[in-house]
Amino acid sequence: MSFENYLPLVDSDQTAALADQEYREHQARFPKQKRRDRLWELPKAVYCSVIGTCVTLEELRKISQKDKSHNYESLCDYELHKAFVSAARNKRNSLARDLQRLLEKKFQIIIRRFRDYSAGMLDDAWEEAVAAGDISGTYWALLTHPSTPNDLLDRIFGDIHMLSHISGASLRTDVRQIGRLTSRVRTLEDEIKKVRSASSNYTAKRVNEVNETGRKLKFSQDINRSLNEKLNRFEKRLNSGKYVQKEVDRLTRDLAVTRIQKERLSVKLRII
């Protein structure tokens, strides 16, 4: 179960006791109505928890931007939270009205689901929400539901108070863990830079080697091409020489035949 996203709801157990007292006094003075309560109709003791649990700071900032009569942008998160807590009790305040509309729209599905729930079903719904660690919508729906019994409201308010302590302890643990993780991230970033630098140098070296091999290969190909051209020319010359030799042999044979014929003719003439 995780409640890290919830703002601290009360400052101390003493503050919680005072808020609880105010809440009980409101219950006694204003019994539950048949319709759902509006934000400004709730006891002021719950405003801090409602705003801190059910509304994000981003949503508060967005609502405050509509009110041009005050410079809410300059407020820190805590000051903005206090401004909304103060405004929530006044239905004439634009922040309260806009906040009411936001809560109704944001949690409309849960509100409709719980519309016809009995007191026992509402009790089960709260237990399920706490077990799931998702209480914001259920908190608002039950806090404003006309059928939520006072004893359940007391328990809900107590659970919210204790969850704020869990949230604070979890937040402190998270802060320490974030510090350790931040240090680890810096170390890993330095290691990554070193690895990237070594990888870049190795890649550059390999690229140079490949380029040099390519130049040597091209030079070898050029030499091979030149040798092939010379070989072709030599073969042409060689083939030309063979042709001449054949002609010489043929003429030699023809000359020999001619000499023989001449000798035979001379012999015949002497006989005559």
**pLDDT tens-digit readout, 165-205:** 665 455 455 556 666 777 788 888 888 988 888 888 888 88
Neighbours of 188 (CB within 10 A): 10
3-state class (DSSP) for residue 91: coil
| 23 within 8 A of 157, measured Cβ to Cβ | yes
pLDDT confidence of 22, banded at 50, 70, 90? low
Phi/psi region, residue 245 (left: phi>0; alpha: psi -120 to 50; beta: rest), is alpha
pLDDT confidence of 231, banded at 50, 70, 90? confident
pLDDT number for residue 118: 92
Residue 9: pLDDT over 60 = no
pLDDT confidence of 252, banded at 50, 70, 90? confident
Q: How far apart are CA 122 and CA 116, in angstroms?
A: 10
pLDDT number for residue 157: 86
pLDDT number for residue 172: 53
Q: Which amino acid is at 120?
A: G
Identity of the highest mean pLDDT range in 31-40, 128-137, 164-173, 233-242: 128-137
| 91 within 8 A of 38, measured Cβ to Cβ | yes
Residue 65: pLDDT over 60 = yes
Q: How far apart are CA 159 and CA 133, in angstroms?
A: 12
| 114 within 8 A of 125, measured Cβ to Cβ | yes
Greater confidence, 1 or 239? 239
